[in-house]
Structure 1
Amino acid sequence: MKKKTASADPLYLQVAEGLEKMIGDETLKIGDKLPSVRMLSEEYGISMGTAFQAYYHLEGKGLVESRPKSGYYVRFNLRRLPGLPRIAEPEPVPSEISVQEMIANVFQRFSREDFVNFSVAAPPISLLPAAKLNKSLVHALRASPHHGIQYEHSQGNAELRRQLALLAFHWGGKYTAEDVVVTAGCMEALVMCLKATTKPGDTVAIENPTYFGIFQVMESLGLKAVEIAADPLTGIDPQQLEVLIKKFPIKACVFVTNFSNPLGSCMPDEKKKALVQLLTRHRIPLIEDDIYGEMYFGRHRPRTCKSFDTEGWVLYCSSLSKSLAPGYRIGWTIPGRFTQQLVRIKMMHTVSGTTLTQLAIAHFLGIGRYEFHLKKLRKALHTQCLRYLQGIWQHFPPDTKVSRPQGGFVLWIQLDRKLNAYRLYQEALKHNVSVAPGQLFSAQGQFGNCLRLSYARPWDAEVEDALRMLGALIKKMS
């Protein structure tokens, strides 16, 4: 084995990544015995404690297992995972949207704590820095000259907007506080961006499948949807979009370019650049939902379409609801040439946002706690993703197809054609388990044999039992 070269990562991670690569390459095969802790310590020139940490890390990912009085063995290889879901073929026609009843049925159990809830793509409180946020909240209350009860600036707290503009440097953006409009979560940002760029009856291009909340917004605004098939790994193809632009009067696009919900796909940089160039040429606004962009598993944050925008046609939207504080309702948009429209729309909508939570988040971001928290969250989500994938491989039928997200919160699962995902959802409820049936994620009601499954909840025996039960139901219903 080669010793790891110098790296910014902790030593145990360097060693673990080297072993993980050997497992992935099948240099180390399932069932192979790994070097003893003492041997690993000597080989890499590390302490015994660091060697143990490396094995604990791999064990947490489910890649190795400890056998009493025997040592560590290779348990799993990602090459064993099922194939990818197929790319859908939606009908290329504008369609009216009506998915409210099924969404309401599924999400009336949104906050049930007695359920194993695989249907919510948000972090549990155990993964969030509640105590540190509380300190920032107390600081905000004490430091505010108006005790946090005055109206905030309509565009958002100035210091918060400055901190959010600084976050844009992570994905290649160079903006100031004046470019940012703070909103009540990402959904309000999407609503206001659609209001600024469309009118009732207009046609909007969206991914297929896509997050059902986008359908709800479009339905409420009287918009029509044209769905474009998304690849499970790379998202939409700009060339396919160009065909639709020539065929339909598309007035705007709404895409989740990084770790889309529900596929988990991430558009490569060259595709993002081509997409922005295409839409700029046709003067079609792109509303980019980047709510999952910070939850990446690799070494670098993926870029955004906004980072390639030179003429202001990309309206960037994000929030802290998936990464830090869902209940604080802090979202924002960088709407480019549409900034003044957004500010006017916000004035009509809400006048201003909540003062105290904006002050608290501005303080939390300003003292550098956010990035430290994100590192821990990304590590936890990556580990959980791997464990859930292994659970699906172990307990679901052999013909199951599953996505390979490199970030975010969700897996997209394709099952036997005969299976009805909504019926599976109803049966699973009887066992206090909730999933999101695939029909929720298409305006045309596709994906009747698919599920979205969130891996936000940390892996434990209850999660494994729930996956085992789902697998048994699927086999029975297929």
Structure 2
Amino acid sequence: MKKDFIYSQIAQNIAQLIRSGVLKPGDKLPSIRTICLEQGISMNTAKRVYLELESKALITSRPQSGYFVTEGAYRQLPLPAASQPSEKDSRSIPDQLISKIYGGPARKGITLLSIGVPAADLLPVAKLNKCLLKASREFKDSSIGYEPLAGSERLRQTLAKRSFMWGGQLSADDIVTTNGGLNAISLCIQALTKSGDTIATESPLFSGILQLAQSLGLRVVELPTHPQTGVDLKALKAVVKNINLCLLVPNFSTPLGCCMPDDHKKEVVQLLERHNLPLIEDDLYSDLYFGPSRPVSCKTFDKTGNVLWCGSVSKTLAPGYRVGWVAPGRYKEQVLRLKYVHMLANPTLTQEAIALFLESGGYDLHLRKLRDTLYTNYLHYTNTIAAHFPEGTRISRPQGGLSLWVELRKGIDTVELYEQAIRQKISIAPGRMFTLQPQFDNCLRLSFGLPWSEQLQRKLQQLGRIAGNL
């Protein structure tokens, strides 16, 4: 463990020197022998440091010459502009476009840059299958009976224990299991609103939530959002008297990947509590952090039960298991009543399998590998986009999650980009999907949840050429 820490720490220090511009593209790095002497490490550990940096496309080896900073390393494009949605202009969500991208014909042979989940190759499928088998053996009735309304006690206990890592301090009785994260959000919204009510959200926002809100007859107020710090607090304060509910994704939201600072989270929680307005917190991505530790949640600062904290394993472990949950705070009875009407119970086996996997320690081991892969993928995407997308391109700098937000120059229509790209078997998510406002027509979301390969790099380069020709 100590050796792993040393090599990782040295690699991070060199990466930071590259990121900050101290080491520039083309600069030669110290030899492996020099690294050994300077850091007091073995030859094998020094080689591992450079292999780590090579895997992230930060350095390259030249035979007989040594190691050099790559030309594309951390070539930072400008950030996308903060969103400025209008309170007056609105248009409906493009259901046909969303259906075409997410629910269209067979995906075989398509490079799915549009789907915001990790590829199956990055998930521990075999270990999960073993957990399913073990769970089926442990139940005398083979798990065919109804679960308690609140869901699997074992899973709720496990989730409660994990909440102490981020200051949630939940008990099993505080948690209700659901069929995935969107189902948790849906139960919360339906329990707390009626048709004609107004909810405030960040902008851009996951299209599924916007579709849900419109289907329930709700008015959506989209708030200005910064690509790094999240929702604009002044804008939220300005509308707080005119809304019935607030829904936010404070940690690594899709599509921006931004992370709200802790003091902003605390201020939001206190603001909404003063106005007796519930906060639904969509916290699906928090375990996919790129930094040293998981960020705290808004629920961390909740002293009165006003935050409904929603999560799932759909973005980290098993999308098809449909295992999610919510800690609804003081609104638990309303959520349970609605769950009984709509669902009665969750499937038992998948909940138990997830609980077993979390208890075994396999989840944390998997997360460490997945986070490292996603961060490396993000760096590869950044370098490729910087080198091959048209002039004027801006990209987000996500601090975690699965999504990269790309803003192309004005006049490039990303719906048209999608139509041309899909003919080349490349699927993207146009920015138009993530808003009800007349904005983001020149933006797109790319998922970096696919295993990196030369073929994927060529597809990204091809996408950049198509964009440049529009």
Query: In the alignment, residue 61 of structure 1 is paired with which amino acid?
Result: K
Structure 2, gaps ≥5 residues long: none
Deviation per CA, 1:267-297: give whole Å up to 9, x if none: 0000000000110000111110000011000
**Equivalent residues of 2:91, 2:438 under 8 A apart:** no
The corresponding residue for 1:136 is 131
Alignment match, 2:459 = 466
Deviation per CA, 1:434-454: give whole Å up to 9, x if none.
Answer: 000000011124200001011
- Provide closer, same or farther for how the CA distance between residues 324 and 31 of structure 1 changes in structure 2, counting only shifts above 3 A: same
Distance 1:345 1:399 in 2: 48
- 1:67, distance to aligned residue in structure 2 (A): 1.3
Kept in 2: contact 1:94–1:226 (CA 8 A): no
Partner of 1:201: 196
SS of residue matched to 2:288: coil
Contact 1:93 1:226 in 2 (8 A): no
Q: Provide the secondary structure at the position in 1 that maps to 2:340.
A: helix
What secondary structure does 1:451 align onto?
strand
Task: Quote the offset at 1:94 in angstroms.
Answer: 8.3
Which secondary structure does the structure 2 equivalent of 1:169 belong to? helix
> What SS does the corresponding residue of 1:166 show, helix, strand or coil?
helix
Equivalent residue for 2:429? 436
1:151 aligns with 2:168: no
Verify the 8 A CA contact 1:97 1:215 in the aligned structure 2: no
Question: Are 2:173 and 1:173 aligned?
Answer: no
Amino acid at match of 1:258: N
Query: Is the alpha carbon distance of 1:205 and 1:419 closer, same or farther for their aligned partners in structure 2, counting shifts above 3 Å?
Result: same
Query: Which residue of structure 2 aligns with residue 255 of structure 1?
Result: 248
Query: Shift of residue 24 of structure 1?
Result: 2.5
Tell whether the 8 Å contact from 2:179 to 2:323 is kept in structure 1 after alignment: yes
Q: Is contact 1:97-1:225 (8 Å) kept?
A: no
Map of 2:86 onto structure 1: 91
Distance 2:6 2:312 in 1: 33
SS in 1 for 2:244: strand
Quote how far apart the aligned CAs of 1:148 are: 1.3
Q: Distance in 1 between matches of 2:465 and 2:29?
A: 33
Say if 2:89 and 2:437, in contact at 8 Å, map to a contact too.
no
Q: Name the counterpart of 2:364.
A: 371
Q: 1:122 maps to what in 2?
A: 117
1:29-52 CA-partner distances (Å, limit 9, x unpaired): 211111222222222222221111
Residues 110 and 120, structure 1, Cα contact 8 Å, conserved in 2: no
* Counterpart secondary structure, 1:294: helix
Aligned 8 A contact 2:413 2:442 in 1: yes
Question: Is the CA contact 1:402–1:411 (under 8 Å) kept in the aligned structure 2?
Answer: yes
Do 2:72 and 2:387's aligned partners in 1 also have CA atoms closer than 8 Å? no
Q: Cα deviations across residues 291-330 of structure 1 (Å, max 9, x unaligned)? A: 0011000001111111111111110001000001111110
CA 1:216–1:111: 2 relative to 1, 3 Å? farther
The match for 2:156 among 155, 161, 164 is 161
Q: Secondary structure, in 3 states, of the residue corresponding to 1:337?
A: helix
Counterpart in 2 of 1:185?
A: 180
Helix, strand or coil: the match of 2:38?
A: helix
Letter aligned with residue 152 of structure 1: E
Please report how far the alpha carbon of residue 463 of structure 1 lies from its aligned counterpart in structure 2 after TM superposition. 1.1
Q: Is the 8 A contact 1:94 1:203 kept in 2?
A: no
How far apart, CA to CA, are the structure 2 residues paired with 1:420 and 1:122? 25
Q: What is the aligned partner in structure 1 of residue 313 from structure 2? A: 320
The amino acid that maps onto 1:439 is R
Structure 1 letter corresponding to 2:226: D
d(CA) in 2 for partners of 1:309 and 1:400? 39
Q: Which amino acid aligns with 2:262?
A: D
2:8 maps to 13
| Partner residue, 1:27 | 22
Residue identity in the other structure for 2:29: L
Q: Which residue of 2 aligns with 1:475?
A: 468
State how far apart, in whole Å, the 1-side matches of 2:160 and 2:334 are.
Answer: 19
Deviation at 1:384, TM superposition (A): 0.6
Corresponding residue pairs, total: 470
Q: 1:21 & 1:7 partners in 2: Cα distance?
A: 21
CA contact (8 A) 1:92 1:227 kept: yes
Any idea what the Cα deviations from partners look like across 1:69-91, whole Å, max 9, x if unmatched?
22211115765211000112111
Secondary structure of the equivalent of 1:316? strand
| Residue 47 (structure 1) aligns with | 42
User: Contact between 1:96 and 1:224, CA under 8 Å: does it hold in 2?
Assistant: no
Deviation at 1:95?
4.8
Mean CA deviation greater in 187-196 or 104-113: 104-113
TM-score when normalising by structure 1? 0.95
In the alignment, is the contact (CA less than 8 A) between 2:72 and 2:386 conserved in 1? no
Partner Cα distance (1:303, 1:263) in 2: 18
Q: 1:42 to 1:451 in 2, by over 3 A?
A: same
Give the whole-Å Cα distance in 2 for the aligned partners of 1:285 and 1:110: 39
Q: Which residue of 2 aligns with 1:358?
A: 351
What is the aligned partner in structure 2 of residue 226 from structure 1? 221
Q: 1:381 aligns with which of 374, 386, 391?
A: 374
> CA deviation digits over 1:140-165, x for unaligned, max 9?
01111221111111110101110111
Contact 2:406 2:445 in 1 (8 A): yes
State the Cα distance separating 1:8 from its structure 2 match.
8.7
The answer to whether 1:343 aligns with 2:333 is no
The 2-side partners of 1:193 and 1:160 are apart by: 20
Does the 8 A contact of 2:93 with 2:433 survive in 1?
no
Paired residue for 1:3? none
Q: Answer yes or no: is 1:299 the counterpart of 2:292.
A: yes
Aligned equivalents of 2:237, 2:345: Cα separation in 1: 38
Residue 237 of structure 1: CA displacement? 2.0
Instruction: Give 1:202 shift.
Output: 0.6
In the alignment, structure 1 segments of 5+ residues that lack a partner are 1-5
Are 1:275 and 2:268 an aligned pair? yes
Range with bigger deviation, 67-76 or 325-334: 67-76
Deviations 1:174-220 (A, max 9, x none): 01110000000000001000011101111111111111011111122
Could you tell me how far apart the structure 2 residues matched to 1:132 and 1:126 are?
13
Sort the Cα spacing of 1:191 and 1:96 in 2 relative to 1 into closer, same or farther, 3 A. farther
